[in-house]
Structure 1
Amino acid sequence: MSHCPLSGDSDLETIMTVRTSEVAAVYQAHFGTEVGPLFQGIETLTLRRSRVSDLMFFDPPVTGDTRFYEQLARIDWYYSADKHEFAYSRQRIPAGARVLEVGCGPGFFGASLKNHVYLGLEFNPTARAQAQARGLHVEATDVADVARREPGSFDAVVSFQVLEHVDDPGVFLESCAALVRPGGRLIVSVPSADSFMRFNLNDVLNMPPHHVTWWSDRCLAWCAERYGLRLTELHHQSLSDGGHRQWFLQQFSERALLKYLGIAPTGPMLDMGLQGRLRTLTGALAQILEFGFEDPMMEPRGHTVVAIMDKPETEP
C-alpha cells in the first residue's frame, strides 16, 4: 500500500518490517492459533506512518477471518463483560437515546444499557448469537450499508476495540459519522499508540491479522476534523482501569534489563532470541514491582484511549 487508508496521502514513514513466518510462530506458541494460511504469498508486513494523518498502518493490511476470531473468542479474557470504557461511555449517553454499536461482540455493552433503543452490528456468528440471546437486536450488516439506509438517525454511535481491526478505516469512520444525528455523538475506543502498547515485545495481537492500524491522539483529532465532528474528550484509561499493571511492568523491566546489559532493545515487534527469553524473569519482577503502585496517580497511561466526538447541531 503506497498511501494512507485515511488521508490518501503517500507521505509515509517506514517504521519497521516483520516476517509473517515469525508472526505466525508467535500466534501458534502463545494462543495455539494457526494464522499461516492468512499470510499465503506474503512474506513480510511493514508498519508505516502517515505524516499527514499520523495513522500507523500495516502494509499489506491482512485481516482475520471468521475462523480466526472464533479461535480467539475461546480465550476467557478476549471478550470482557465489564470494560472500563463501557462504564465511561454509558455516563456520556443520555437516557432514551437511540444507540448503534458497531462490532458489538456478545453484547455486553448493549445489555448494560437501560432505557435505550439499541441496535448492534456483529459478523461473528457465535458472538452475534450470544448477543441476541441477551435480548438485543443485532444484525450481520456492514456499517456502510446501515449508513446508506439510516443516515443521521442515531443519538450515539459507539464502537469499542473495533476500528484497529478494519482494513478501510476511512470508510468505517465516515459511515459511523454519517449515522450520528446533528447534536449526537460518536464514541470510539482503541488501543493507544501513545502508551506502553507501542513498545510491547511479541505482542502479535497488536499486529495482523488482528490489529492492522495503530491510533495516536493526534490521529484521532485529525479524524474528528476530517469527518465533521468536534473532539470533546480524549480519555486515557489508567493501568488499573484495564488491569494491565503487570503487563506494563514486565515491558518496563525487560527494557531496563536489556539496557543494563548493554543490549539495545530490538523494538516493539518480534524477538525470538535473548529478549524473548527474558520474559520469565521479567514476569516475576513485574509481580514484585506492582506493590510499588501505591496509588493510581503514580501510573502511566494504560492500554486504551476513548475518543468522544460530537456532531454539531448545525452541520457546516
Structure 2
Amino acid sequence: MSDIQTTKPKPQKTKPDPALAGALPCPITGLPPVRRIQSMSKELVQDIWKIGQGVDVSHLLAGIDRFSLYESPTGLVYFDPIVVGDGAFYGSYYTKWEVHDALTYRSDTRVDFVHTAKHVPAGAKVLDIGCGPGVFRRHLTHATYVGLDPYASADVDDVVIRETLEEHAEKNPGAYDVTCAFHVIEHVPDPRRHAELMAKLVKPGGLVVLGAPLYPSPLTEVPNFPLNIPPHHVTMWNPQSFSALAKELGLEVVEATTTPPSPHQNMFFWMHKLLFRRTDQATDPRIYAHRWSWHASVALAYLGAKIVSPFLSMPASARPIDAYLVARKPL
C-alpha cells in the first residue's frame, strides 16, 4: 500500500454578487446571469426615446423604476424587465423614421438575405417571420415564399399572412422547409419560445434561420444607441448565444457566425466612425448613461453621418454588427 496520503481540496467559498440578487434568469436556459453590465433609470430610457427619437414610450414603462442589463452564461445580453413595444409604438416609430424604407433600401445586397438564399434548396417552401413588406422574396425565385406579419401594411399582397407566430405554428406544424426571422427575435419577450415555434413549423431536416444585433459590436460602442434599448430591442446576440439556443432546442448548428454589414447599414458605420466619445473608451462597462460628452458625441456623429453616408461607402474591413444562425431540425 502506498504511504502517500491524498486529500481532497476544500471547496472555495464565493460570496454571491449582490448586483445579481433577484435578477431575471437567462431567457434561453433559465440559469442566473453571470454579470450585470449596468443599471439605468426609467427616465433615462424615456429621454433617449423622447429627445433622441421624438417618440414617447412612457405608456409602456408605467410601473417600472429601473432597468438592468445582464449577460447570461450563454453570452446573451438582455434587459430586465423585458418590455416590448406594442402596435402603437411601432406604428408611430416606423412611420416617423421610415424604418421599412431603410430596411428595404438596396435589399438586393442585404448580406443576410443573400447568404440565407444560398441555404434554401430549389423548390423549398420558406416562411419569412416578421417580414414587413416581404422583400426577401426577391431572393427566392427558386423557392416558394410565404410571409408572416400580424402588423403587415394594407398594401402588402396576399403572399403575407396576417397572423401571430403562435397562431400560425398551431395550424401549420411541419409545413415548411425553412423558417427565417431577420431582426425579429431581439424584439420578442420570450426568444426561446419564438425559436421553438419556428422549429415546430419546419419539417424534420428543415432549417431555422435567425439574424439579430451583435454584442459586442460597433453599435454597442455608440453611447445611448436607441435601437438597442427597450421597448425596441430587448436582447442582443452573438454566435455563442445562438449556438446555445440551438442546443437547448435540440437543433443541429449548421452555421453560427457574424455577418458583414450590408450597404443599407452604411449610416451606422459612419456614425460610429465619427464619434469622438465611445462606450469602449469609458472606465466602466456602461453603454447607456446621462453624460453630456456622450450626448454631444452622438448628436454630432449623427449629423456627420447624414452628410457623408450618401457619398462614402463602407470599407471591406467594416466590423460586423449582426449575429447569424442556421440550425437544422433532426430527422
Q: Shared fold (TM-score greater than 0.5)?
A: yes
CA contact (8 A) 1:157 1:176 kept: yes
User: More displaced, 196-205 or 159-168?
Assistant: 196-205
Deviation at 1:86, TM superposition (A): 1.6
CA contact (8 A) 1:108 1:131 kept: no
Which amino acid is the alignment partner of residue 310 of structure 1? R
Q: Distance in 1 between matches of 2:303 and 2:170?
A: 52
Tell me which residue corresponds to 1:62. 83
Q: Distance in 2 between matches of 1:116 and 1:294?
A: 31
Deviation at 1:240, TM superposition (A): 5.4
For residue 248 of structure 1, the aligned residue among 261, 269, 272 is: 272
1:99 aligns to 2:126 (yes or no) = yes
Q: How does 1:65-104 map to 2 (within 5 A)?
A: 65-74=86-95, 75-79=97-101, 80-81=103-104, 82=107, 83-104=110-131
Aligned residues: 300
CA contact (8 A) 1:3 1:12 kept: no
Deviation at 1:269, TM superposition (A): 1.3
Tell me which residue corresponds to 2:328. 310
CA contact (8 A) 2:237 2:323 kept: no
Q: Secondary structure at the match of 1:148?
A: helix
Tell me which residue corresponds to 1:138. 161
Q: Secondary structure at the match of 1:233?
A: strand
CA contact (8 A) 2:34 2:72 kept: yes
Which amino acid is the alignment partner of residue 276 of structure 1? H
Q: How does 1:292-311 map to 2 (within 5 A)?
A: 295-296=315-316, 298-301=317-320, 303-311=321-329
Q: Distance in 2 between matches of 1:152 and 1:6?
A: 23
Give the unaligned 5+ runs of structure 1.
none
Which amino acid is the alignment partner of residue 91 of structure 1? K
Deviation at 1:49, TM superposition (A): 1.8
User: More displaced, 228-237 or 265-274?
Assistant: 265-274
| CA distance 1:56–1:309, change in 2 (3 Å) | same
Deviation at 1:157, TM superposition (A): 0.2
Tell me which residue corresponds to 2:260. 238
Q: Distance in 1 between matches of 2:190 and 2:208?
A: 18
TM-align CA RMSD: 2.9
Q: Secondary structure at the match of 2:199?
A: helix
Tell me which residue corresponds to 2:243. 221
- Say which one has the larger Rg: 2
Q: Secondary structure at the match of 2:92?
A: helix
Which amino acid is the alignment partner of residue 254 of structure 1? R
Q: How does 1:1-316 map to 2 (within 5 A)?
A: 2-51=24-73, 53-74=74-95, 75-79=97-101, 80-81=103-104, 82=107, 83-110=110-137, 112-124=139-151, 127-132=152-157, 135-140=158-163, 142-239=164-261, 241=263, 242-243=265-266, 244-251=268-275, 253-255=276-278, 264=283, 267-282=286-301, 295-296=315-316, 298-301=317-320, 303-312=321-330, 314=331
Which amino acid is the alignment partner of residue 196 of structure 1? P
| CA distance 1:118–1:289, change in 2 (3 Å) | closer
Q: Distance in 1 between matches of 2:181 and 2:217?
A: 20
Q: Deviations over 1:127-149 (max 9, x none)?
A: 342332xx414122x32333332
Q: Distance in 1 between matches of 2:303 and 2:128?
A: 39
Deviation at 1:123, TM superposition (A): 2.1
Deviation at 1:78, TM superposition (A): 4.2
TM-score after normalising by structure 1: 0.84
| CA distance 1:295–1:32, change in 2 (3 Å) | closer
Q: Deviations over 1:78-131 (max 9, x none)?
A: 45111331222122212211111111112222355324333322122xx34233
Percent identity reads 27
Q: Secondary structure at the match of 1:309?
A: strand
CA contact (8 A) 2:222 2:298 kept: no
Q: Secondary structure at the match of 2:177?
A: strand
| CA distance 1:201–1:150, change in 2 (3 Å) | same
Q: Secondary structure at the match of 1:254?
A: coil
CA contact (8 A) 2:44 2:289 kept: yes
TM-score after normalising by structure 2: 0.81
Which amino acid is the alignment partner of residue 248 of structure 1? H
Q: Deviations over 1:224-267 (max 9, x none)?
A: 1111222222342324543232023134x4239x95xxx74773
Which amino acid is the alignment partner of residue 72 of structure 1? Y
Which amino acid is the alignment partner of residue 327 of structure 2? M
